A = this chain, B = another copy of it.
Amino acid sequence: MADERDDLDVSGDGAPAAVAGSRMTREQSRANTRDRLLAAARSVFARSGFHGASVEEIASEAGFSTGALYSNFDGKEDLFLALMEREIDEHAREIADAVRARASIAERATGGARRWMTMIDREPELLLLFMEFWAYGVRDPDVRPKVAERFAQMRQVLTGLIADGVREFDLELALPAEQLAVAIDALADGIARQKLADPDAVPDDLMGRVLSLLFAAATRPAPRTGTRSAP
């Protein structure tokens, strides 16, 4: 009998799939299903929301049964948290890259803002999804800390970016960097929310302009420190 093991990888699926080329060790195979489940989860959750999505649908879109899903995750919530972690990592990195690439403070602000707006346009469902889950998670005492942690992750990245800018451009802040980060994160979130509910209400350059204003007001050249900052 022909050993037709080449697993009809029909689902082009793209993304994170590990092509079932040749034989896979247990570990590899497991990691592979996990990835495919996560990819399916991303797509289904984004389409239907956390409440609207059914684990059945996710499993089947991944080409597995719910059994497989429950064998790899503790349940719907756990699956979602894993997804969220992965996505936030990626988003944070993207923003950070956009910011660091720019030369001046103002350009950094508008660069980051522009990237954020682009992300809203490109994947509105994903942001929507996070907010939905945020609401769900905040209510549940077991989940809240995990949600808080994920958002703290984002704040930390922002704090780091601000601190970098302050150091590189030799500035002084009217507000601790952490707090500025909170405000910026809040602004970004809020802008996203408004735009998702009513895209016309939010001009694309608004966030950049506001950020610039805010930075202009919140920073000033540092008084004489060791670091050279010639006038």
Contacts and interface: CB of A to CB of B under 8 A. Distances in A.
Interface stretch (A8-16, A34-42, A147-155): A147-155
A187 B193 contact: no
B190 A49 contact: no
Contacts of A213: 174-175, 214, 217-218
Interface in A64-101: none
Contacts of A6: none
Interface string A143-182: 0100110011001000000000000000000110001001
Interface residues of A, number: 47
Interface in A184-220: 185-191, 193-194, 196-198, 201-203, 206-207, 209-210, 213-214, 216-218
A51 interface: yes
Interface stretch (A20-28, A54-62, A129-137): A129-137
Q: Copies of this chain, how many?
A: 2
Contact of A198 (B152, B174, B175, B194): B152
Interface in A103-152: 128, 131-132, 134-139, 144, 147-148, 151-152
Interface of A: 49, 51-52, 128, 131-132, 134-139, 144, 147-148, 151-152, 155, 174-175, 179, 182-183, 185-191, 193-194, 196-198, 201-203, 206-207, 209-210, 213-214, 216-218
Given A134-B197, A182-B194, 9 more contacts: A131-B135, A175-B213, A182-B202, A183-B187, A185-B190, A185-B194, A186-B186, A186-B187, A188-B190
